[in-house]
Amino acid sequence: MERIIQLYKSLTGTEPQNIVPLAGAGSNRRYFRVCGGEELSTLAPCSLPLNSLIAVIGTNQEENEAFIDLAKRFREGGLPVPSLLAVSDDRMVYLQEDCGDVSLHAFMSQHRQADGSFDAEALAALKATIRELPRFQLLPLTQLSTVNCQLSTFFSHCFPQQSMDRTSVMFDLNYFKYCFLKLKGVEFNEFRLQQDFEQLADDLLVDDEPTFLYRDFQSRNIMLKDGKPYFIDFQGGRRGPIYYDVASFLWQSSAKFSDEVRNLLIDEYLDALTSHLSTFNSSLFLPRLHLFVLFRILQVLGAYGYRGLWEKKTYFIDSIPLAIHNLQQEIALGTCDPYPNLKEVALSLIALNSEEEKSRAEEAAKQAKVAAYLQNDKTYTPHGSLPIMGEMSVGQRGSSLSVSVFSFSFKKGIPADESGNGGGYVFDCRSTHNPGRYDEYKPLTGLDQPVIDFLEADGEILTFLDSVYKLVDFHVSRFIERGFTHLQISFGCTGGRHRSVYSAQHVAEHIHEKFGVEVHICHREQGITQFIPSNS
Count of H helices and E strands in the chain? 16, 15
Phi, psi of 58 (to 5 degrees): -95, 170
Instruction: Give me the pLDDT at residue 392, please.
Output: 40
State mean pLDDT over 73-91.
Answer: 93
Q: What is the pLDDT of residue 398?
A: 43
Q: Give the model's confidence band at 253: pLDDT under 50 very low, under 70 low, under 90 confident, else very high.
A: confident
86: exposed, middle or buried (C-beta count within 10 Å: 0-12, 13-18, 19+)?
middle
pLDDT beyond 50 at 516: yes
Q: Judge contact between 522 and 437, C-beta under 8 A.
A: no
Average pLDDT over residues 330-335: 97
* pLDDT one-digit tens code per residue, 264-299: 999 999 999 999 998 898 889 999 999 999 999 999
Across the range 446-454, mean pLDDT stands at: 92
β partners of residue 519: 403, 532
Cβ atoms within 10 Å, residue 41: 12
* Length of the chain measured in residues: 536
The torsion angles phi and psi of 409, rounded to 5 degrees, stand at -100, 130
pLDDT at residue 393 in the model: 40
pLDDT band of 422, cuts 50, 70, 90: confident
83-133 pLDDT, tens per residue?
A: 999 999 999 999 999 999 999 999 999 999 888 899 999 999 999 999 999
What is the SS3 string spanning 377-420? CCCCCCCCCCCEECCCCCCCCCCCCEEEEEEEEHHHCCCCCCCC
pLDDT of residue 215 exceeding 50: yes
DSSP string, 112-126: B-TTS-B-HHHHHHH
C-alpha separations of 306 from 84, 366, 509 in Å? 34, 29, 51
> What would be the CATH architecture of the domain defined by 2-97?
2-Layer Sandwich (3.30)
* Positive/negative CA dihedral, 99, 101, 104, 105: positive
Domain ranges of the chain: 2-97, 101-161+213-278, 166-204+281-380, 388-532
Identify the three-state secondary structure at position 309.
Answer: helix
Residue 44, C-beta contacts closer than 8 angstroms, at least 6 positions apart: none
